[in-house]
């Protein structure tokens, strides 16, 4: 008992420490788990024979992950994405598997080994890539959207791969090992195929109609733990059935998840399984790291390094060419090539299946495991290379390809940025008959608006020479709608310094950005989500029983008090001091919050509250526009 507790504490403690450090460095949780395992095993030598036993339990996290992936992929959603998924994603997987398998066969390995290695290395790291896309705001870029489609297809493609690897063993000179309990091991192929199809259909139909009825029955009992126990029993039962007939448990779990994707209990099942999935999957990656053969890496470093670099080069080339064929911008194709060239976490899962099925010998499996891990460890460096080298050079190339438009007209209103924020303002002003000069740095947006009939100029508003050429000296108003915080603040600073009499309305991402814009010299600052949030609050008051007139009065009063609070806090804000370390600013906020609450509750009681917003407020606009 003590030994089990000691090993459990060691694995969990190292996992917590490594993941926290990895997340802090922006490397993602999967790399954190791998580094924890490397520290426990190859570095400190704390792992023993228990690693394999823990891995057998932890592999169930993969089954849960596939069940949850299936829950997110309703059949109609898969149908809607069919063109991009099957086109870009399908070609990436097929070409990568074919290229890697061809190279493996060319160096003298069997075709079964080639296909297995191709499947393992063709998949990329969903966890690392999507997290990095989100952190670097790349998800909405053409390259980011294409990358997401490929990753989604890879997640789906991993399911047939899990089923394929044991079948490769059947045609290989090795057979499944004694650790499996396959009731159909001695049956002819047609029996195996018939039973497999019947089992998958039974799972799909069974869970579709029986599970909701079971959940309704459990809800009447009103024992929350029964939901958790039933969901776990469902996934374990499906995994057991698939194992008994020699198929991948993960395949059965995925089929069940897709069948339940439209169920009203989908979120209930997700919430109950997510903690178990996260814990077991984390332990799985820790055991992978702990079991890495660093002695082999030391002995065959150049061989492993060469295979890793070859994998990155082959996949990167295929991704870049596909990006160009699917008419992505060159920048998007480069992002695709650098971000998805690595092998991924599913590679470890497939590698485990390949080992258990004896498709790959241990020595080769150890080498491929090192290749997968090293390629994942190199991914953050590839993203840094993209940020520091590729992206800046790409912007220069795009600027050279399309020169900035020459702006000869001078209008009373100049609007920078025509995205979801700026287009509403421009539409309102032009509808009222005002002439505007609109500048945007997205070529697609400019071309589309010009085709639509709305004159828009292409240009980089952060460049001083452009700002000096657009008629700011004669304009009556500048509206900055750019989403990038740093860029919008720099523009405000430049314009306020060179054209101090020009009123500036600036879009702010949040309060902190608003403070920076205030210090930069903006006259009026609009936080982009405040109006929508206050309108939502007004609707909430009405639904809570307050009549619409009173709710309108309260929301308008709150909006005025919020502007007043922004004024006072901006005076206390210091750019070099973190917000929660600025005690005078926090004290001002607390005092105004308390005062506002007392006033609003007095209004609710029907009392007359006398308070007037400062007419010189730096965030105030003319009545009706705030």
Pick from 138-152, 163-177, 239-253, 322-336: least confident: 163-177
Q: At how many degrees (to 10) do helices 548-572 and 583-604 cross?
A: 160
pLDDT tops 50 at residue 180: no
Task: Encode pLDDT of 58-91 as tens digits.
Answer: 767 777 777 777 777 666 666 666 676 778 888 9
Q: What is the pLDDT of residues 425-456, one digit of tens each?
A: 988 888 888 889 898 887 777 777 777 777 78
- Residue 622: pLDDT band (50, 70, 90) is very low
pLDDT above 90 covers what percent of the chain? Answer: 19
H-assigned helices in 453-529: 464-467, 485-498, 511-520
Say if CB 348 and CB 161 are below 8 A apart: no
Question: 599 vs 198, 394, 475, 558, 593, CA distance in Å?
Answer: 68, 55, 41, 10, 10
Cβ neighbourhood burial of 348 (10 Å; 0-12, 13-18, 19+): buried
The least confident of 15-24, 201-210, 395-404, 604-613 is: 395-404
- Mean pLDDT in residue range 212-227: 80
Burial of 180-203, coded b for 16+ CB within 10 Å and e otherwise, reads: eeeebeeeeeeebeebbeebbeeb
Strand, helix or coil for residue 507? strand
Predicted pLDDT at 318: 94
Of 219-223, 454-458, 538-542, 563-567, the range with the highest mean pLDDT is: 538-542
Structure tokens at 610: 């006398």
- Is 625's pLDDT higher than 80? no
Q: Parallel, antiparallel, or unpaired for β 436-440 and 413-416?
A: parallel
Least confident of 202-216, 337-351, 401-415: 401-415
pLDDT tens profile 108-134: 888 888 999 999 999 998 767 876 776
d(CA 625, CA 198): 65
pLDDT per position as a tens digit, 37-50:
888 887 887 766 66
Q: What pLDDT, on the 0 to 100 scale, is given for residue 270?
A: 79
Distances (CA, A) of 321 to 92, 118, 184: 10, 19, 44
Residue 461 token pair: 């508003």
Name which of 525, 511, 443, 431 is nearest 480 in CA terms: 525
Q: How far apart are CA 531 and CA 371, in angstroms?
A: 51
Mean pLDDT across the chain, nearest whole number?
Answer: 81
Q: Is the pLDDT of residue 226 over 60?
A: yes
Asked if pLDDT for residue 5 goes beyond 50, the answer is yes
Indicate the pLDDT class of residue 620, thresholds 50, 70 and 90. Answer: very low
- H runs (alpha helix) in 386-442: 391-401, 422-431
List Cα–Cα distances, 537 to 527, 531, 549, in angstroms. 16, 10, 14
Structural domains present in the chain:
64-170+191-274+301-394 (no CATH), 413-605 (3.40.50.720)
Confidence of residue 179 (pLDDT cuts 50, 70, 90): very low
Q: What is residue 403's DSSP assignment?
A: P
């Amino acid at each position: 008992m003590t030994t089990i507790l000691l090993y459990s504490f060691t694995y969990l403690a190292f996992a917590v420490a490594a993941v926290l450090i990895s997340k802090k460095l922006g490397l993602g949780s999967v790399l954190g788990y791998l580094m924890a395992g490397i520290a426990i095993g190859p570095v400190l030598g704390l792992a023993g024979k228990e690693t394999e036993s823990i891995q057998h339990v932890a592999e169930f996290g993969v089954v849960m992950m596939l069940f949850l992936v299936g829950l997110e992929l309703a059949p109609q959603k898969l149908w809607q994405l069919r063109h991009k998924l099957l086109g870009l994603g399908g070609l990436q997987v097929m070409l990568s598997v074919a290229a890697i398998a061809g190279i493996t066969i060319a160096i003298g390995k069997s075709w079964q080994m080639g296909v297995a290695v191709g499947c393992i290395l063709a998949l990329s790291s969903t966890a690392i890539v999507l997290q990095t896309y989100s952190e670097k705001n790349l998800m909405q870029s053409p390259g980011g959207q294409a990358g997401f489609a490929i990753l989604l297809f890879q997640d789906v493609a991993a399911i047939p791969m899990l089923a394929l690897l044991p079948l490769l063993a059947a045609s290989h000179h090795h057979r499944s090992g004694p650790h499996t309990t396959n009731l159909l091991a001695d049956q002819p192929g047609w029996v195996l195929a018939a039973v497999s199809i019947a089992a998958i259909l039974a799972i799909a139909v069974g869970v579709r109609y029986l599970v909701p009825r079971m959940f309704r029955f459990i809800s009447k009992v009103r024992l929350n733990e029964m939901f958790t126990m039933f969901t776990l029993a469902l996934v374990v039962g499906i995994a057991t059935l698939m194992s008994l007939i020699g198929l991948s448990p993960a395949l059965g779990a995925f089929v069940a998840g897709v069948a339940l994707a439209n169920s009203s209990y989908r979120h209930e099942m997700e919430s109950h399984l997510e903690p178990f999935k996260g814990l077991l999957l984390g332990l799985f990656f820790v055991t992978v790291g702990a079991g890495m053969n660093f002695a082999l890496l030391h002995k065959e470093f150049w061989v492993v390094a060469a295979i890793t670099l070859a994998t990155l080069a082959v996949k990167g080339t295929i991704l870049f060419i596909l990006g160009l064929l699917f008419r992505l911008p060159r920048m998007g194709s480069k992002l695709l090539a650098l971000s998805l060239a690595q092998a991924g976490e599913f590679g470890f899962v497939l590698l485990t299946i390949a080992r258990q099925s004896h498709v790959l010998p241990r020595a080769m499996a150890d080498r491929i495991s090192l290749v997968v891990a090293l390629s994942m460890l190199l991914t953050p460096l590839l993203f840094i290379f993209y940020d520091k080298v590729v992206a800046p050079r790409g912007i220069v190339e795009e600027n050279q390809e399309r020169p900035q438009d020459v702006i000869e007209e001078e209008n009373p209103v100049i609007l920078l940025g025509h995205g979801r924020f700026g287009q509403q303002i421009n539409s309102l002003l032009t509808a009222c008959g005002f002439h505007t000069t609109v500048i945007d740095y997205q070529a697609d947006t400019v071309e589309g608006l010009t085709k639509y009939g709305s004159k828009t100029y292409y240009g980089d508003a952060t460049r001083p020479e452009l700002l000096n050429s657009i008629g700011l000296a004669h304009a009556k108003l500048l509206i900055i709608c750019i989403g990038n915080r740093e860029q919008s603040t720099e523009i405000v600073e430049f314009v306020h310094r060179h054209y101090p009499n020009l009123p500036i309305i600036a879009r702010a991402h949040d309060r902190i950005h608003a403070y920076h814009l205030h210090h930069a010299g903006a006259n009026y600052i609009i936080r982009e989500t405040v109006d929508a949030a206050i309108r939502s609050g007004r609707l909430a008051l009405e639904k809570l029983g307050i009549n619409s007139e009173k709710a309108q009065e309260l929301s308008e009063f709150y909006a005025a008090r919020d502007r007043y609070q922004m004024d006072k806090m901006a005076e206390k804000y210091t750019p070099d001091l973190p917000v929660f370390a600025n005690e005078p600013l926090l004290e001002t906020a607390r005092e105004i919050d308390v005062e506002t609450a007392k006033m609003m509750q007095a209004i609710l009681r029907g009392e007359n509250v006398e308070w007037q917003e400062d007419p010189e407020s730096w965030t105030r606009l003319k009545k009706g526009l705030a």
